[in-house]
Amino acid sequence: MSKHLIDLIDIRKSYGTEDALKRINLYIRDGEFLTLLGPSGCGKTTLLRLIAGFTMPTEGRVLIDGKDVSAIPPYKRRVNTVFQKYALFPHLNVYDNVAFGLKIQKLPKDEIDRRVNEMLELVNLKGYGKRWIEQLSGGQQQRVAIARALVNRPQVLLLDEPLGALDLKLRKGMQIELKRMQQHLGITFVFVTHDQEEALTMSDTVVVMNEGVIQQIGTPTDIYNEPKNVFVAKFIGESNILPGTMKRDLLVNFHGMDFTCVDKGFAPNEPVDVVIRPEDIDLVAPDAGMLRGVVKSVLFMGVHYEFRVECGDVMLTVHSTDYVEPGCEVGVVILPDAIHIMHKSDAPDAAEPLPQEDLPEDAPELLPEE
Amino acid sequence: MVKKLRTFFKGTYLGLMLVFLYAPILVLMIFSFNSSKTMGNWTGFSFRWYEALFKDATIMNALWVTLSVAVISAVVSTFIGTFAAIGLNSMKKRPRAVIENISQLPVVNPDLVTGISFMMLFASLGIRDGYTRMLIAHITFNIPYVILSVMPKLRQSSNMLYEAAMDLGCTPWQALTRVVIPDIMPGIVSGFIMAFTLSLDDFVVSWFATDGIQNLSIYIYSSARRGISPKINALSTLMFVAVVTLLLFINLKSIREEREADIQNKKLRAKSR
Amino acid sequence: MKRTVFAYPYVVWMLIFILAPMLMIAYYAFTSDGAFTLANLAGALTNEMYMQVLLRSVWIALKATVVCLLLGYPIAYLLSKMKRSTASLLSVLFIVPMWMNFLLRTYAWQVLLSPSGILNNLLKAVGLPAQQFLYTESAVMLGTVYNFLPFMILPIYTVLSKMDQSQIEAAHDLGANGPTTFFKVVLPLSMPGVISGITMVFIPAITTFAISRLLGGGKFMLYGDLIENQFITLGMDAWGSGSALSFILLVLVLISMAVMRRAEREAGEEGGGKLW
């Protein structure tokens, strides 16, 4: 059993009249890689700063290791942060930046030396100790920032959009390296990002936030396959969202037709939102499909083509590796397991903060569960 | 051909302007070596005014007042101003705007009005000592300039450094002395230099604020009507040369450093390829 | 501990030594024996001699500002066109004279311009009659221009050297020739610098004293000299009228600053030179 390392209980944080966070309840387990995901201004950075101790909650408590730390200043918490723009000290060289925290703790010189060199090696910056910060590339600065935080052996490492300033290729590389470091050191990582792909590839647990409210907590597969509401569905990946009615269990009506699906537990004839991922839709010969449509436009996206298919009064987005000429008539196939049903978002309980369900222990998070 | 002519005109114009700016200064300097007392009549080269200068108790005293006030006021105002800037930087908008506006008063105010207001204040408070008066006045008009030169550095350095330091275990005071202040050092130094030179050069505020003592400016003003002794020429020559040497030294050093940094960066880039 | 604490010593200092003295000027300008009065102000505004001096001060300051702009803009422009390293060295050359005490610099002009001075000696040498340079209004203006010219050059140079070269290239690309580019692109874009230059010359110029004393021989008294006279010569008895004069000067300065600020904002919008 991995225990709760951090508990956030009934957190509210307001700046003046505006609530940055509204009634947040979340726990973070020891050793997990948890990502706070959401658009800018959703409160994810505020949440991180609460854990770090840079701000105090207006209401509620922050527990680390079961102890209330709400009033404890950041320098007394065993939590370290990798800042968004790194916040490296420009007047110190790489070695002194990494050694900074240990020097403040007044550790013996040889221990500092050993740990700093160890850490520089871990982040592949061996031999860079004497360099000045401004002489480093963005990716190298990033590594220094990580080393500077990790060298203190924190209980939790907080990362505030640390990869945002890197170009795509570097970012991909760093994602893998961060994950490797986290697994190697066994330290809890709390990672903030607005990049859904990043969140899905790296995390054990993803927390989707919007407007100061947690929208969904789950494994990356859960979040992608079973979005709880329209916000999550739209924010994670691309999706077609259509209004529909749940006829009964396993049968949904949308676009004027009945479709078999795999969802149940809805009230009979309950209005719902139907989510269909673009890659789950198949294009076939006009007569072989469940729907008929006309291809309006095609975009080449590298791995696949993106089609806009007009079916009567709806426009579907479809991803496929097979090319179809624009203007062609096509058949559209939507299989039962491609359909995901959600409660209407304007339903009163949709905006309520969700209780965090217990996640399965040691689930192979990166693989689909089916 | 046309291009050459143009460069010629440009050069001539800049040259003429420099002559305009430097002519009076050169005249002063040249006549500091004149053997006779009247300026305008060159009677021969001599160091006699330089010798006389160091024997003149009044001038030496004024020089001492000028230099000591400049040093003390620059140090004090740099301290107060730097901490004020740090405090202001983390204040809420409204109180910060109020304080910043009031502290702009000595910058915006004509020196004359500032000087007069000091004169009235000191008389009312019963502060009689001329040196104290001058010192307070100089510290006061220096602080806003220190704040002005520290503030941009502070804004540039971002709150993050302070937070990063605390994140790594620094108490707020440690974060300040070990991270924030070293980082804004260039701003503090230029604030100090600015304060020092402003104090060195001030005449108007000192003239009204102080009573009974003379710094160099006051000495020059009160003797200018009778005609200034060539001793003052000698003194200003010395001070001017000292200042210009210092200035050129600082400038050349920064240019050289820039170039070195450039070269190093190029090397690094070449290596990383 | 909050960092705002660090500002407290200064706030105390500021209240005693900045705010209180300013309030004293206002107090003395509007009271007589402790009672509120407008007499001081009315006296300062109706005195014919005072008003004459005021007008002369404004007029000389205006002329000096225009001359500074006409001389300074080309210098700033030429500097901004040079190689960075040359320009920074040359711009230092234009500032260095400010490092000599302004009284000495002004005094040096006295020496140059005096009847038996160097300029007249030069005239004599080429066979021209000697001129009365010193103690004229032109001499006062010359001294003002000389002392404040660097304040005009610097802000304009700063703006011009930061100007995006691609905007000028864009203008050329769109078919504008040299002069057109200058008047339609460079000049409007440099307006913020011009305006702060004007502010930095005009305001010290209307409030200056001593220059007129040294180069005008006391014949061309400026408003600053008038105020100095009230306080230094007449002493405490004249605090009321002196404060009233200072108050008028301050209002004048504030008005001109407000005008400049508005102009700056408009120039900023028009030229897009500054982004708020």
Count of CB atoms situated within 10 Å of the CB of A308:
16
Q: What is the mean pLDDT of residues A194-222?
A: 92
Residues B86 and B113 grouped into a single domain = yes
C1 at B interface, C-beta within 8 A: yes
CB B104 within 8 A of CB B167: no
B158 at A interface, C-beta within 8 A: yes
A56 at B interface, C-beta within 8 A: no
Residues B202 and B257 grouped into a single domain = no
Q: Is the pLDDT of residue B269 over 70?
A: no
Please provide the average confidence, as pLDDT, over all residues in chain A: 87
Q: Is B264 close to A149, i.e. CB distance below 8 A?
A: no
pLDDT given for residue A71 in this prediction: 85
Beta strand pairing call for A156-160 and A188-193: parallel
Tell me whether residue B2 is in a domain.
no
Residues B128 and B260 grouped into a single domain = no
pLDDT given for residue A189 in this prediction: 95
pLDDT given for residue A360 in this prediction: 46
Distances from the Cα of B118 to the Cα of A332, B106, B169, C222, angstroms: 87, 11, 46, 21
CA dist B34 and A5 (Å) reads: 85
- Kindly report the three-state secondary structure assignment for every residue of chain A: CCCEEEEEEEEEEEECCEEEEEEEEEEEECCCEEEEECCCCCCHHHHHHHHHCCCCCCEEEEEECCEECCCCCHHHCCEEEEECCECCCCCCEHHHHHHHHHHHCCCCHHHHHHHHHHHHHHCCCCCCCCCEHHHCCHHHHHHHHHHHHHCCCCCEEEEECCCCCCCHHHHHHHHHHHHHHHHHHCCEEEEEECCHHHHHHHCCEEEEEECCEEEEEECHHHHHHCCCCHHHHHHCCCCEEEEEEEEECCEEEECCEEEECCCCCCCCCEEEEEEECHHHEEEECHHHCCEEEEEEEEEECCCCEEEEEEECCEEEEEEECCCCCCCCEEEEEECHHHEEEEECCCCHHHCCCCCCCCCCCCCCCCCCCC
pLDDT-based confidence at residue A361 (cuts at 50, 70, 90): very low
pLDDT given for residue A188 in this prediction: 94
Please provide the average confidence, as pLDDT, over all residues in chain B: 87
Q: Is the pLDDT of residue A270 over 50?
A: yes
Q: Is the pLDDT of residue B41 over 80?
A: no
CA dist C275 and B78 (Å) reads: 31
> B12-25: per-residue pLDDT in tens?
999 999 999 998 89
Strand partners, A254: A244, A257
pLDDT given for residue B159 in this prediction: 75
Q: What is the DSSP letter of C270?
A: H
Q: Which residue in B10, B27, A251 sits closest to C109, CA to CA?
A: B27
CA-nearest residue to B261 within chain A is A135
Q: Is the pLDDT of residue A351 over 80?
A: no
The shortest CB-CB distance from B171 to any of A75, A87, A135 is to A75
CB A74 within 8 A of CB B162: no
Second CATH level (architecture) for the domain A4-225: 3-Layer(aba) Sandwich (3.40)
Partners of B267 on chain A (C-beta within 8 Å) are none
CB C276 within 8 A of CB C62: no
Partners of B111 on chain C (C-beta within 8 Å) are 204, 207
Q: How far is C154 from chain B (nearest CA, A)?
A: 14
Tell me whether residue B8 is in a domain.
no
CA-nearest residue to B27 within chain C is C108
> Comparing A56-70, A349-363, B144-158, B246-260, which segment has the lowest mean pLDDT?
A349-363
Count of CB atoms situated within 10 Å of the CB of A1:
5
Tell me whether residue B20 is in a domain.
no
- Those residues whose C-beta lies under 8 Å from the C-beta of residue A9, and which sit 6 or more positions away, are A25, A60, A61, A62, A63
The shortest CB-CB distance from C17 to any of B140, B248, B251 is to B140
Q: What is the extent of the structural domain holding B264?
A: 231-273
> Comparing B38-42, B72-76, B162-166, which segment has the lowest mean pLDDT?
B38-42
CA-nearest residue to A99 within chain B is B168
Q: Is A87 close to B161, i.e. CB distance below 8 A?
A: yes
Q: Is C3 close to B87, i.e. CB distance below 8 A?
A: yes
pLDDT-based confidence at residue A108 (cuts at 50, 70, 90): very high
Tell me whether residue B26 is in a domain.
no
Burial pattern B100-136, b for ≥16 Cβ within 10 A else e, equals bebbebbebbbbbbbbbbbbbbbbeeeeeebbebbbb
pLDDT given for residue C158 in this prediction: 87
C90 at B interface, C-beta within 8 A: yes
Most confident residue range from A91-105, B27-41, B219-233, C247-261: A91-105
Partners of B14 on chain C (C-beta within 8 Å) are 75, 78-79, 90
Tell me whether residue B51 is in a domain.
no
Residues B221 and B237 grouped into a single domain = no
Q: Is C94 close to B217, i.e. CB distance below 8 A?
A: no
pLDDT given for residue A352 in this prediction: 44
- The backbone region for A269, taken as left when phi is positive above 0, alpha when psi lies in -120 to 50, beta otherwise, is left
Q: Which tokens belong to A261?
A: 């699906």
Kindly compute the dihedral angle of the four CA atoms of residues B47, B50, B51, B57, in this order, to the nearest 10 degrees: 160
Q: Is the pLDDT of residue A362 over 50?
A: no
- List the pLDDT tens digit at each of the 276 positions of chain C: 578 888 999 999 999 999 999 999 999 999 888 888 888 889 888 989 999 999 999 999 999 999 999 999 999 999 988 887 788 778 888 888 887 888 888 888 888 888 877 888 888 888 888 788 888 888 999 999 999 999 999 899 988 888 877 777 888 788 777 788 888 888 888 888 899 899 889 988 988 888 888 888 878 888 888 888 888 888 777 888 889 999 999 898 888 888 888 887 777 655 443 332
C77 at B interface, C-beta within 8 A: no
Question: Domains in chain C, please, with CATH?
Answer: 38-271 (1.10.3720.10)
C125 at B interface, C-beta within 8 A: no
pLDDT-based confidence at residue A353 (cuts at 50, 70, 90): very low
pLDDT-based confidence at residue A26 (cuts at 50, 70, 90): very high
B174 at A interface, C-beta within 8 A: yes
Question: How many Cα atoms are found within 13 Å in the side-chain-facing hemisphere of A241?
Answer: 19
Q: What is the DSSP letter of C174?
A: T
Residues B153 and B240 grouped into a single domain = no
Q: Is B168 close to A54, i.e. CB distance below 8 A?
A: no
pLDDT given for residue A81 in this prediction: 93
Q: Is A84 close to B169, i.e. CB distance below 8 A?
A: no
pLDDT given for residue A358 in this prediction: 53
pLDDT given for residue B103 in this prediction: 86
pLDDT given for residue B270 in this prediction: 59
pLDDT-based confidence at residue A218 (cuts at 50, 70, 90): very high
Residues B252 and B196 grouped into a single domain = no
CATH of the domain at B96: 1.10.3720.10
CATH dotted code for A238-347: 2.40.50.140
Q: Is the pLDDT of residue B255 over 80?
A: no
- The backbone region for A244, taken as left when phi is positive above 0, alpha when psi lies in -120 to 50, beta otherwise, is beta
> A249-263: per-residue pLDDT in tens?
888 999 888 899 888
Q: Is C209 close to B124, i.e. CB distance below 8 A?
A: no
Total of domains in chain B: 2
Residue of B167, B173, B267, B271 for testing the chain A interface, max A β-carbons within 10 Å:
B167
Distances from the Cα of B150 to the Cα of B135, B143, B144, B147, angstroms: 22, 11, 10, 5
B201 at A interface, C-beta within 8 A: no
Residues B90 and B223 grouped into a single domain = yes
The shortest CB-CB distance from C99 to any of B108, B228, B240 is to B240
Residues B175 and B198 grouped into a single domain = yes
pLDDT-based confidence at residue A350 (cuts at 50, 70, 90): very low
> A321-347: per-residue pLDDT in tens?
989 889 989 999 999 989 999 888 654
**DSSP element (H, E) containing C36:** strand C35-36
Residues B238 and B213 grouped into a single domain = no
Q: Is the pLDDT of residue A25 over 70?
A: yes
- The boundaries of every CATH 3.40.50.300 domain in chain A are 4-225
- The boundaries of every CATH 2.40.50.140 domain in chain A are 238-347
Q: Is the pLDDT of residue B158 over 80?
A: no
More confident residue, A194 or C98: A194
Residues B241 and B221 grouped into a single domain = no
pLDDT given for residue C145 in this prediction: 94
pLDDT given for residue B261 in this prediction: 67
Tell me whether residue B47 is in a domain.
no
pLDDT-based confidence at residue B268 (cuts at 50, 70, 90): low
Q: How far is C24 from chain B (nearest CA, A)?
A: 7
Residues B161 and B271 grouped into a single domain = no
Count of CB atoms situated within 10 Å of the CB of A368:
10
Residues B91 and B158 grouped into a single domain = yes
